[in-house]
Amino acid sequence: MRSLLIVIAMIFLTPTLLWAVEDFKVSEYWDGHQIWFEAEAFDERSPNNNYKLGDAEGALDPADGAFGDIVTNVGGNGWLLYRFDISRTGGGEGLWRFVARIINPSNASDWLWVLGDDGDEIPKVDPGFVRPDHIIFENDTPNWAWVTDGDFGADGGTVNELQDGENVMMIWTRGSNLTDQYDVFMWTDALDYKPTDDDYINAESKKGLAVTPGEKLPSLWGRIKSE
């Protein structure tokens, strides 16, 4: 009850409050568009919290060279959810590739689900993933690297149809564990683009767009209930 009263008070006292201001970067390398965001900037995660922050939640010390904190899987099945707006890059609807800066020494892979491309409603349970359509990170990556493939050199689940404006992606557990470190995620419509650390460093920093309280209230209430 107390949490509900806090939410109501915040709505009436601060009608222009920014519910979710997220740091991200944009760029236009290889005559394309890119949006970059760090793995720890997820909007939601499964109630069992099997995905945890490495440093902030004491799950795993990030390897040298990480950009900030990392996300790892402490055990069990679950998911991470991210919302991102490709209109901030100047790009629009079409095929985009998901790329990640990770460490994954034993190809402990996961699944990728994208709203619109993989379904019209955000799933609450495993929607039934299949290989190779949804697999990501299936490769040996012992040191920090930008992984552009999903399944041992093939696209796997990395290429998806994104929609104009805001998109939703989810990472679902397949085999990830404490050997995995997820650092930075990126989407690009230049499907052959090979990113580098310097590309990420030099990309333009942005902030999330302002949204009305009503638009983000369900997400906020979900977070409060889970805490």
When pLDDT is averaged across residues 16-34 and rounded to a whole number, the result is 75
Residue 162 φ then ψ, to 5°? -95, 155
Neighbours of 176 (CB within 10 A): 28
Q: Which two tokens stand for residue 93?
A: 């609807």
When pLDDT is averaged across residues 49-77 and rounded to a whole number, the result is 98
Q: How confident is the model at residue 2 (pLDDT cuts 50, 70, 90)?
A: low
The pLDDT mean for the chain works out to 87
- Check residues 174 and 13 and name the one with the higher pLDDT: 174
Q: What is the CATH number of domain 22-209?
A: 2.60.120.260
113 Cβ contact partners less than 8 Å away, ≥ 6 residues apart: 119, 123, 127, 129, 134, 169, 170, 171, 172
Residue 25 exposed, middle or buried by CB count within 10 Å (0-12, 13-18, 19+): buried
- Check residues 173 and 13 and name the one with the higher pLDDT: 173
Separation between Cα atoms, residue 117 and residue 184, nearest integer Å: 22
Checking if the pLDDT of 13 tops 90, the result is no
Domain segments of the chain as ranges: 1-19+210-227, 22-209
Q: What is the pTM of this model?
A: 0.83
When pLDDT is averaged across residues 11-31 and rounded to a whole number, the result is 64
Q: How confident is the model at residue 221 (pLDDT cuts 50, 70, 90)?
A: very low
Summarised one tens digit per residue, pLDDT across range 87-143 is 999 999 999 999 999 999 999 999 999 999 999 999 999 999 999 999 999 999 999
